[in-house]
Structure 1
């Protein structure tokens, strides 16, 4: 088999690895990065040279359960390297790389009568989970600080992640997709997630994560109802606000300590990768925590 065929060879097995520390991450990184960089640099060059600066990768979507094409382009990127995490959208369900993995992970975790809570309600991800979880799914959005958690506004449940309205031990699974970087007190959020989870319940979450950093950097803080900026303001897209959501944290490895401080018995980073299922981006990551 020549080099190009080896580079493009696909497997129907998703590579997954639980990582509990930077040491484990670094060892794993060094074992896989060379081939992944070669493959993704090849795709980036091919994408850049195409007339419309995008291309479609054939593969299978675990959410749709069908053969599909994943669109790769330079949206949300530096213009040189595609943003693999936020692109590779499925031609059928339109979910991107990160979203598809979370939904497919929930499909495998979900069993009848398992209660799921998601910190989102007006998103494509929520709608995809609703298909199989149905009435066992509760979703919410953060509307504004003037509303009390549990309020319903225009059919949307408002919840402040720092002060959830739910009773203790209500859910089997909690899902947070790029939410916790936008809160003022992330430790309160982890405490609340732990409180409303049942014993052996799971918190599954994604956040922008910097694996080369030991400690989390606080970018901003709310003090006496005023925002204090410690570095340049960065905003991410928010379906509830045209202004976007302010980023309060750049997370490092101490996020695992924060999670365990909330009472979780186990917390780790789950690395995943698959050419066949369009899970690319060097070392894609999600976090998982288990309540004792």
Structure 2
């Protein structure tokens, strides 16, 4: 069945038609004006609400692609930094010969970043944490690079809503060990794709909080007027802030 819905897109800010399409992994409503997926619009809504002054902030986006969220952040943020895990290049080096909308990017391993401490107000990732071998190290690195009170906002497919998270692959002896049948998603800098390392469950917020010391909340957005309907519409928001003293 072909689903067509009229509504307003929160990213391109136009009245539009949303159509249900099935990409490689899950169904999602696509905006016919800007081609954004439902998860893109949910993430944009979360950024707009949690960090309304994002244009003036120091923003790091990990693994940006060609979608309108990455395009708008790169074009409108006054202090925007993009990073990609680009094998074969030196960590911390800057790549300028790219067709990505970000224009240039810093080569980074999310688990051991070369950025200084407390340099970003906001760190954004789209569908990245299901591809990281050591998410505890990655989120601790994000916390390290965030300024006090800073935010990280991420889309992550939570596909095990009624079961705990499970690992699909790990590094053993310097090599990838596949625990489950390999699954790959698209990669903006590699035609080989990105290996899915973890199938996340609802425990993801607790996992990220425990590893980083940040507050994490998981939000599920559903709004048909805004074309936000997806099988995996979860957005995680983490804030680098100490617990209040209530003694």
Query: Which TM-score band (shorter chain)?
Result: 0.7 to 0.9
Query: Is 1:211 matched with 2:211?
Result: no
Larger helix fraction of residues: 1
The number of equivalent residue pairs is 230
Query: Is 1:128 matched with 2:72?
Result: yes
For residues 93 and 245 of structure 1, what CA distance do their matches in structure 2 show? 25
Query: Is 1:284 matched with 2:227?
Result: no
> Aligned with 1:198: secondary structure?
strand
Query: Is 1:269 matched with 2:218?
Result: yes
TM-score (normalizing by structure 2)? 0.85
Gaps of 5+ in 2: 98-103, 242-247
> Aligned with 1:180: secondary structure?
coil
Offset, 1:122: 3.9
Instruction: Identify which of 56, 64, 71 aligns with 2:19.
Output: 71
> Aligned with 1:118: secondary structure?
strand
Offset, 1:290: 1.0
For residues 74 and 253 of structure 1, what CA distance do their matches in structure 2 show? 23
Offset, 1:270: 0.7
Match of 1:98 in 2: 39
> Conserved in 2, the CA contact under 8 Å of 1:194 and 1:262?
no
| Residues 253/274 of structure 1: CA separation in 2 closer, same or farther (3 Å cut) | closer
Larger strand fraction of residues: 2
RMSD of aligned alpha carbons: 2.0
| Residues 76/121 of structure 1: CA separation in 2 closer, same or farther (3 Å cut) | closer
Offset, 1:257: 2.6
Instruction: Identify which of 182, 192, 202 aligns with 1:253.
Output: 202
Gaps of 5+ in 1: 1-47, 49-53
